């Protein structure tokens, strides 16, 4: 009986890793749509969001079933409850990828990102993708050192976010109001992706230790 129970817990973790991979690919495609003018990538992100939503529903259903049938306690209960919340974080990252893809599609065939903002937006996309790679590792291994590194990685994203707003508010910005609004939204979408990645790392700390890190 315990072996079957452990298999169910492991399956929930595996589903969260698979969901992370799907979300990471969605964000990468959205970034390609944004920076490369790839309409096909934008459409794939938008149409594929239903798959990510379904994955969240499946993870939530499995977690609730575990609680109802196995009545987990202590570490196991933390593992299941954290899994429920992690699925929500991942689904919201998928939504952010959709927002990026829709903005890119709306501006096509013109570029959504002016040349002056392009390097910073591209770097934010790179950092966000790297953070999601780390999320998959943390979820698959419950490695607290990797989770701590992910918490630190968010400092880079926050720095890029601040850099972008300094540029938008500076005298050197010549992209116009509409482009400034687009870029401000995009910066926020990537920054929020980093926030959700950090939230997942904190939840893994909670799973393993029963404590939430305050860093």
> How far is residue 53's CA from residue 35's CA, in Å, rounded to a whole number?
25
Asked whether residue 129 is domain-assigned, the answer is: yes
- Residue 163 is assigned to a structural domain of this protein: yes
Q: Is residue 52 part of a domain?
A: yes
pLDDT digits (tens, 9 = 90+) for 166-204: 888 887 788 788 889 999 999 999 999 999 999 999 999
For residue 214, tell me if it sits in a domain. Answer: no
The number of distinct structural domains making up the chain is: 1
pLDDT at position 153 over 90: no
Averaged pLDDT for residues 91-114 = 95
Report the Cα 83 to chain-centroid distance in Å.
Answer: 15
**CATH code, domain carrying 180:** 1.20.58.220
Question: Encoding tokens for residue 125?
Answer: 């996309």
Tell me, yes or no, whether 63 lies in a domain.
yes
Residue 76 belongs to some domain of the structure: yes
pTM: 0.94
The stretch 85-92 carries a mean pLDDT of 96
Residue 71 lies inside a defined structural domain of this protein? yes
215 part of a folded domain: no
Whole domain around residue 14: which residue ranges? Answer: 2-209
Q: How far apart are CA 138 and CA 145, in angstroms?
A: 9
What's the confidence (pLDDT) of residue 212?
Answer: 75
CB 38 within 8 A of CB 164: no
Element (H, E) at 11: helix 2-36
């Amino acid at each position: 009986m315990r072996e079957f129970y452990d298999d169910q817990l492991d399956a929930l973790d595996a589903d969260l890793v698979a969901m992370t991979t799907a979300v990471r690919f969605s964000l990468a495609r959205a970034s390609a749509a944004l920076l490369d003018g790839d309409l096909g990538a934008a459409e794939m992100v938008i149409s594929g969001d239903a798959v990510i939503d379904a994955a969240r529903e499946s993870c939530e259903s499995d977690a609730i079933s575990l609680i109802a049938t196995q009545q987990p306690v202590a570490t196991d209960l933390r593992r299941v409850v954290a899994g429920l919340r992690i699925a929500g974080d991942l689904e919201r990252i998928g939504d952010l990828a959709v927002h990026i893809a829709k903005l890119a599609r709306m501006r096509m065939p013109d570029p959504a990102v002016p040349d002056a903002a392009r390097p910073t937006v591209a770097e934010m996309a790179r950092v966000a993708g790297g953070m999601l790679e780390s999320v998959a590792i943390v979820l698959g291994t419950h490695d607290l050192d990797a989770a701590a590194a992910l918490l630190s990685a968010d400092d880079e994203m926050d720095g890029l976010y601040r850099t972008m707003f300094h540029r938008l508010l500076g005298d050197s910005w010549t992209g116009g109001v509409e482009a400034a609004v687009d870029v401000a939204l995009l910066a926020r979408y990537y920054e929020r992706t980093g926030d959700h990645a950090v939230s997942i790392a904190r939840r893994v700390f909670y799973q393993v230790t029963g404590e939430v890190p305050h860093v």
